[in-house]
Structures are given as C-alpha cells and as structure tokens.
A and B are shown apart, each in its own frame.
Chain A
Amino acid sequence: MSEHDPERGGRTRQLMMGRLDRELTPEESEALDQILENNPAARQEWEQLKLVKTITAGIRLRTPPDEIWEGYMNSVYRRIERGVGWILVSIGAIVLLSYGLWSGVGELLRDTTVPWYLRGAVMSLLAGLAVIVVSVAREKFFMRKRDPYREVER
C-alpha cells in the first residue's frame, strides 16, 4: 500500500474491507486485484487481514440460558416502577430539606444572641452552595446543547 499517498491508501483499505465483508462491486473487486498484484506491501497486509477475518468469523457470542427471557420484561417493569419511586422520594426530600433549611437559617439569622461570625459563616455556606449549583447547572446545560444525542434520555 502506498504510504506516500494517504488518499490512495485509504481507498485500498476500504476495498480490502469491502472484499472481506463481501460488499464490493465487480469493478471494485477488479480494482483491488490490480492493487494487490502491483503492491507487495498491500498483498502482505491483505493476507493478515484475511486471517483476522477468518478468526473473528469463527467465534460468536455465548447464548444465555433460556430462562432469562422469561423474567426479562418483568425486570424492566420493576426498574420503571423503581424509577417512579425514586422521583417521588427525591421530590419529597428536596421540598422537606428546602423547608427545613429555610426555617432553620431564618431563625438563626433572626436570633440576636447568635454571634455575628456564626451568622456570617452560615451566609457564606449558603452563598457557596448557590454558586456551585448554578455552575453545575450551567455546565450541564451547555453539555446538553452540544450533545448529538440530546433527544435520547440517559
């Protein structure tokens, strides 16, 4: 194969793949024959690729026990149900935590007996959390915009 002409090399590789996988037209097959006849390096590579094809064609994926198909659908439904459960739990937890935080922090800030530096620390903690949440949300938003499979839920 010509190392000095990448375009030609690319074409030869595609022709080799096409013949290994029986996807060449007669004209393409003839073109490959000519290349192999005139190019010893391509011929050597072709022989190697042919053997790799023979090896991979001689194996297959292991068949699982038949029983797995019987419970397959129910397992998918259980996952769907659990997903709904997690969403409900998450919504409940977020609402309760937010309420607890709002009440607790409000009370703390109103309490004049609490030293100023403790109130400052709580404010700093909340401000830091807000910055992190906004930053992560923005990153997710831009990643999703650039994702070619954004229509597919993951």
Chain B
Amino acid sequence: MDGSKSSVERDLIIRSQRGGRKAFGELIKRHMQRAYYAALGLVGSHDDALDISQEAFARAFRARKSLDPDRPFYPWLYQILRRLSFNHIRDQRSRGRKLQSESAWIVENASDRAGRNDPARLTERGEVRERVRRAIEELSEHEREVIVLKEFEQLRYREIAELLAIPIGTVMSRLYSARRSLAGRLEDLT
C-alpha cells in the first residue's frame, strides 16, 4: 500500500473506531471484492463466499476497537475471513456432506490463449476444468489457500507470508506440496 492510500485507510479506521459507519462503509467498499474472491477461492461457492465475506465484515465492525490504525486493514480482515472459511469447510466435512461447491467457480483465463497442445488451452474444455476444480478442492486447507493466493490473487511470496504471518520458506514449501498434490491428481494431463 502506498503512503497516501495507507494514510487514508488509517483515517478511515480511526473514524470507524469512533463509531463512523460511513467510514466503515468506505472500508467495506475498498475491500469487498478482494474479500469475496478470497472466500470464493477457499470455499468454492458463490453463495457461501458472499455469506462468509459479509459475515467477516460484520465481525470486523464489532471488533474494530482492537484494530491498530497503523496496520493495514485487509490482513486483519483476512484472518477473520480465513477462519470463517475453514470453519465452514470443517462443518461441512464433519456433517459428512460433500462441500457444496459449484462446478463453475473457476473458469478458463480468457487472456491466456496459448497453442493447441498447451495445457492452459486444455482448461478450456469443460471436463478438464472440472478435474482441475476437483483436484484443487481435494487439497488440504493450507495448500489450497496458498494456491488461491498465488494463482488467483497473484500475490508475491512476501505478500503471502505477511498475510498468513508465516515465513517465506513456509509459503514455498506449502506451494511445493500443493503443486505436487495437483501433479499427482492430474497425472495424465501433466
């Protein structure tokens, strides 16, 4: 975050802590799309992602007094969001229900039109995309999370490490483990 952006956000956090709903509304506007997409990547359902990201903002509002205005808002919000997402996944699993993800929570990247034999091109085919989706859903929570942050949010290692409060080496290890798992599950494609 650059200086002016962070000072505006600092001001919004302070005003929210004093009860300013409008200021908190501005924080929601700034981060709602990112929060929604992060939840979508983690739970794989539009309705659940909408529900979880809105709930995260509501909880952030209730806990806003504990927020340090000198620290960026999103990483703090993300901690609430990921907890809600993981709890949602665990609830579904403990009830023995398969995660109610939609088959089309991922789509092919329109800007990535490579050659005919390129695997990226293969994802355009529904059946392959379906297999990739299932392979991502079968990853462990932490593996899926780093794949989402790296591939969908396109964060750098340093940013992922800051967001998850883990060392960069751990980010790389989780990515390696996630990609190995994906390679195993998509063996015939790779």
- Would A154 and B83 be within 8 Å (CB), given that A14-B169, A51-B119 are in contact? yes
Contact check, B83 vs A152: say whether CB atoms are below 8 A apart.
Answer: yes
Count of A residues near B, CB < 8 Å?
Answer: 40
Q: Which of A42-85 contact B (CB under 8 A)?
A: 48-49, 51-62, 64, 68-69, 72-73, 75-77, 79-80, 83
Main secondary structure of the interface of A (DSSP, over half): helix
In this complex, the interface size class of chain B, counting residues with CB under 8 Å from chain A, is 35 or more
Contact check, B66 vs A151: say whether CB atoms are below 8 A apart.
Answer: yes
**Max count, chain A CB within 10 A of own CB: residue among B40, B57, B104:** B57
Tell me the smallest distance from the CB of A73 to a CB of chain B, in Å: 5
Residue numbers in A under 8 Å from B76 (CB-CB): 152
Query: B151 at the A/B interface (Cβ < 8 Å)?
Result: yes
Instruction: Indicate if the CB atoms of B190 and A51 lie closer than 8 Å.
Output: yes
Known: A51-B119, A56-B147, A61-B40. A76 touches B186 (CB 8 A): no
Are A53 and B179 in touch, CB under 8 angstroms? yes
Out of A14, A56, A61, which one reaches B105, CB within 8 Å?
Answer: A61
| Residues of B contacting A: mostly | helix
Q: Are A57 and B151 in contact (CB under 8 A)?
A: yes
State whether the Cβ of A100 lies closer than 8 Å to any Cβ in chain B: no
Q: Which residues of B lie under 8 Å from residue A154 when comparing CB positions?
A: 59, 80, 83-84, 87
Question: Can you name the residue of chain B whose Cβ is closest to the Cβ of A148?
Answer: B165
Closest to A22 in B: B156
Kindly supply a per-residue 1/0 record for chain B positions 145-171, scoring 1 wherever the CB is within 8 Å of any chain A CB and 0 otherwise: 001001110001100000001000100
Q: B25 contacts which chain A residues (CB < 8 A)?
A: 73, 77
- For A50, the closest partner residue in chain B by CB is B190
Of B50, B54, B79, B112, the residue contacting A57 (CB under 8 A) is B112
Which A-chain residue is minimally distant from B128 (CB atoms)? A55
| Cβ 8 A contact of B123, one of A10, A13, A20, A59 | A59
Cα A148 to Cα B166 in complex, Å, equals: 12
- Evaluate contact between B58 and A79: CB separation under 8 angstroms: yes
Cβ contact of B54, chosen from A61, A75, A149, cutoff 8 A: A75
- Give chain B interface residues in 106-137, CB to chain A under 8 Å: 106-109, 112, 114, 118-123, 129, 132
A18-B172, A59-B107 known; A76-B54 Cβ under 8 A: yes
In the complex formed, the residue of B with least CB distance to A151 is B66
Closest to A62 in B: B107
Report how far A62 CA is from B106 CA in the complex, Å. 5
Chain B residues in 8 Å Cβ range of A139: none
Residues of B within 8 Å of A149, CB to CB, are 79, 83
Point out the residue from A13, A53, A60, A152 that lies within 8 Å of B79, measured CB to CB.
A152
- Other A-B contacts than A10-B173, A72-B54, A148-B165, 9 sampled, CB-CB below 8 A, are A14-B169, A48-B183, A59-B151, A73-B32, A75-B54, A152-B76, A153-B60, A154-B80, A154-B87
Q: Can you list 14 A-B contacts (CB < 8 A)?
A: A10-B173, A14-B172, A18-B172, A48-B183, A48-B190, A55-B122, A56-B132, A56-B182, A57-B120, A59-B123, A60-B109, A60-B152, A83-B62, A152-B63
